[in-house]
Each structure stands twice: as structure tokens, then as C-alpha cells.
């Protein structure tokens, strides 16, 4: 599901309600016990330990997961963090590489549902295409908040419009974009 709508319409707030970061003013949010959610937002990279290297960070986060350094390097490398970038301190990495490290962490945690809030910020076109391929190959649920219509077109099976409530959009993202354009004229 892709959530679209104007800035300030409540898309990010809805994700915060889903993960339990906010409580609803009315009603309730029911989460299945044992449900693992992987969340990415524009502040996700702030939670990385800037003094660690990507390899040390993932090893610390998943201490029992990797048998050796080569296996760890391969896992991190699958997300486009390779060579020297694997052993530099996180504080020296570009914002794009920091985002890739967060995606690595989310994927290794094996979530049932991905909650991605503006995941293409700081990513180049190649990285966005890689993200789209990874999402398409992903077996779980997806809630995507994005202004990147190209990504939405590639991965979203449903589109919901957040604007004074949430409602399903019956058409494609291109049709939504055309309707937006027409409403502004």
C-alpha cells in the first residue's frame, strides 16, 4: 500500500499510530502479537552509532547471526556497502550509505511488515531502483509513504489517499498525479 497526499495530511502520523509511537485520540489500534515491523523514516539514520563501522554495527546488532567476517561482509555488501565503506566509521559515510545501512539492519531483522516513510531521501537513482527491486522481492506487507511516484508505480499494489481521512484510490499513481494536476488548474 502506498499512502499519498499533501504534506501535513497525516501520512507519517498514521505510521506512528501503526507502530505505537502515538496513541489514537479515538478508537484503537490492534497489532498481532509477535508481529515484527521494520520501519524506515527520515530520522532512522540518526539512531546509528556514528563511532562504529558498518560491519561493527551489524555485528553488534546481530551478534549470533554471522559465523565469520566474510559472511558479515557479504551480507552488508548486498546492500551496496562495500570495500572501504564497510570499515569507515559511520559518521564518515554519506547519507545515502547510512540509509543503506539502516535498510541492511531492517532486512536482517526479518520483519513481517515494512513501514517506509520517504525512503528515497538521500538515495541516487541506482539505489532507488535497487530499493524497488528489493521491495518487489519482499514477501511481507508494505506501507509506503513517498512523494516518489516512480517508486510507487514500481512497487505499490494499492494506493490510499490521506487527505481529511484515508480512502483508497481506484486508479494508478499516474491517474492520481493527473487528477492532482487538474485540481490545481
DSSP string, the chain: -EEE--TTSSHHHHHHHHHTSS--SSS-----TT--EEEE-TTGGGGS-TTS-HHHHHHHHSTTT-SSHHHHHHHHHTTT--GGGGTS-GGGS-HHHHHHHHHHHHHHH--SEEEEESTTTT--HHHHHHHHHHHHH--SEEEEE-S-HHHHHHH-S-EEEESSSEEEE-S-HHHHHHHHHHHT-
Residue 180 pLDDT exceeds 90: no
In whole angstroms, give the CA distance from residue 9 to residue 167: 12
The 10s digit of each residue's pLDDT in 60-109 is 999 999 988 999 999 999 999 999 999 999 999 999 999 999 999 999 99
- Residue 164's pLDDT is 87
Average pLDDT along the chain:
94
Total count of residues recorded for the chain? 185
List the one residue out of 101, 155, 100, 105 whose CA is nearest residue 132.
155
- For the residues 152-173, what does the mean pLDDT come to? 93
Q: What are the residue boundaries of the structural domains of the chain, listed by start?
A: 1-35+112-185, 45-109
Residues pairing with 1 in the sheet: none
In whole angstroms, give the CA distance from residue 51 to residue 162: 39
| CATH 3.40.50.300 given to domain 1-35+112-185 | yes
In whole angstroms, give the CA distance from residue 176 to residue 182: 10
pTM, two decimal places:
0.89
In whole angstroms, give the CA distance from residue 64 to residue 32: 26
Amino acid at each position: 500500500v502506498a499512502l499519498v497526499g499533501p504534506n501535513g495530511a497525516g501520512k507519517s502520523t498514521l505510521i506512528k499510530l501503526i507502530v505505537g509511537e502515538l496513541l489514537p485520540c479515538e478508537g484503537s489500534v490492534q497489532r498481532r502479537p509477535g508481529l515484527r515491523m521494520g520501519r524506515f523514516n527520515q530520522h532512522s539514520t540518526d539512531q546509528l552509532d556514528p563511532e562504529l563501522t558498518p560491519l561493527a554495527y551489524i555485528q553488534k546488532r546481530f551478534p549470533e547471526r554471522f559465523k565469520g567476517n566474510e559472511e558479515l561482509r557479504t551480507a552488508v555488501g548486498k546492500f551496496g556497502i562495500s570495500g572501504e565503506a564497510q570499515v569507515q566509521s559511520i559518521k564518515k559515510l554519506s547519507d545515502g550509505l547510512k540509509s543503506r545501512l539502516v535498510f541492511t539492519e531492517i532486512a536482517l531483522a526479518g520483519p513481517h511488515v515494512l513501514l517506509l516513510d520517504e525512503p528515497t531521501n538521500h538515495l541516487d537513482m541506482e539505489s532507488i531502483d535497487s530499493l524497488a527491486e528489493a521491495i518487489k522481492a519482499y514477501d511481507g506487507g508494505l506501507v509506503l509513504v513517498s512523494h516518489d511516484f516512480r517508486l510507487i508505480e514500481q512497487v505499490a499494489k494499492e494506493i490510499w489517499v490521506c487527505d481529511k481521512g484515508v480512502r483508497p484510490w481506484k486508479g494508478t499513481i499516474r491517474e492520481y498525479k493527473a487528477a492532482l494536476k487538474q485540481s490545481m488548474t
